[in-house]
Amino acid sequence: MSELKLSHKQTADFELLANGGFAPLEGFQGSEAWKTVVEDMRLPDGQPWSIPVTLASETGEVGDTIELIGHEGSKLGTITVEEVYERDLKHEAQNVFRTTDEAHPGVAMTYREGARTIAGPISVEQLPEHIDAVKPYLLSPADTKKTFEERGWKTVVAFQTRNPIHRAHEFITKCALEIVDGLFIHPIVGETKSDDIPPETRMRCYEVLIENYYVPERVLLGVNPAAMRYAGPREAIFHALVRRNYGCTHFIVGRDHAGVGDYYGTYDAQHIFDEFEPGELGIEPLKFEHSFYCKLTKGMATAKTSPAGNEDKVFLSGTAVREMLGRGERPPEEFSRPEVADVLIEAYSEQSEPAPA
């Protein structure tokens, strides 16, 4: 049996196909599904699906059974090849990412994969290996649904993130928690941009924040093994559908969800939900304004709740905080809880220490 070594992204896709996170998909998509997803954000049967899940490969022919090797070296299972086809990568990029610019990380990743694509159902031998920091939080959709039921949660809001949770994130998650039974903090731990904060650091940030500033009985922390696409609006729908599969009833959509650079409008990821009929996605979006620390009201707020001018608003992006940490500066308390800042400062100081001679 021939083997195919998967990329980080392909390994993550295999895991979500295997554990039910990508339901109703049962394998890597063929040309018909690729076309309807790319052009219409739907599967051939009409169900909503916003980003294609495909397997680019220079090898494999129809009828082959190929052993799939995860990027970390595990023998994950097999794919039975039912179709080989060529994807129009520029067409995919323009529709999914709204750009063909290779400076966009998702577009660049798509082009690197190549156009030749194999499709078919998978069989699963094992799931990929993960670093120790995330292993306790590797909950499958079956695991989370069981936990929600055991806790008596009939309504659950999911929060997607690829960054530590700062004060603005804390604010919107707690606002959402006021109207549901439980909060599912579900950070992505698959492949992200090289300048994103690594998952082991982020997991510690989530732990100290939940321990000190949330009611632990109302919060569940899990990890999403997915790779980021940075597809903005399309990825917001994609993220919502995955969290539906994990048993969530509501999904937080904030400013520039899954965005990168200036490719998407501030609230484009909220507007795209209006392209679907109410209830069609099986999960309800909760749309939040850009939040900030307000010096006037002495607390977190949005433009809906604070009359302050810009001089009384403290805005800090994740990028700005990473730059501060890189310079050895402590993020202000208006942006980050001190316990989270301590974790970040320690992690950045360890990165900047010279290697032993």
- On the 0-12 / 13-18 / 19+ scale of CB atoms within 10 A, 78 is buried
Backbone angles phi, psi at 285, to 5 degrees: -75, 140
Task: Report the catalytic residues.
Answer: 162-163
**What's the rounded Cα separation, in Å, for the pair 38 and 92?**
6
Question: Strand 219-221 to strand 75-80: parallel, antiparallel, or no bridges (unpaired)?
Answer: unpaired
Q: Are 47 and 257 in contact (CB under 8 A)?
A: no
Contacts with 143 (C-beta within 8 Å, 6 or more apart), sequence order: 222
CA distances from 79 to 33, 211, 212, 242, 304 (A): 17, 42, 45, 22, 51
Bridge partner list, 42: 48
- Return the number of other C-beta atoms located less than 10 Å from residue 177's C-beta: 18
DSSP-H helix ranges across the chain? 8-19, 31-40, 89-97, 105-113, 141-150, 167-177, 199-213, 233-245, 268-271, 318-326, 338-352
Written as one letter, the residue type at 14 is F
**What's the rounded Cα separation, in Å, for the pair 18 and 11?**
10
Q: Are 76 and 68 in contact (CB under 8 A)?
A: yes
- Count of residues making up the chain: 357
- On the 0-12 / 13-18 / 19+ scale of CB atoms within 10 A, 201 is middle
Question: Strand 27-28 to strand 292-294: parallel, antiparallel, or no bridges (unpaired)?
Answer: unpaired
Tell me 7's DSSP state: P
- On the 0-12 / 13-18 / 19+ scale of CB atoms within 10 A, 256 is buried
Bridge partner list, 28: 120
Q: Are 16 and 141 in contact (CB under 8 A)?
A: no
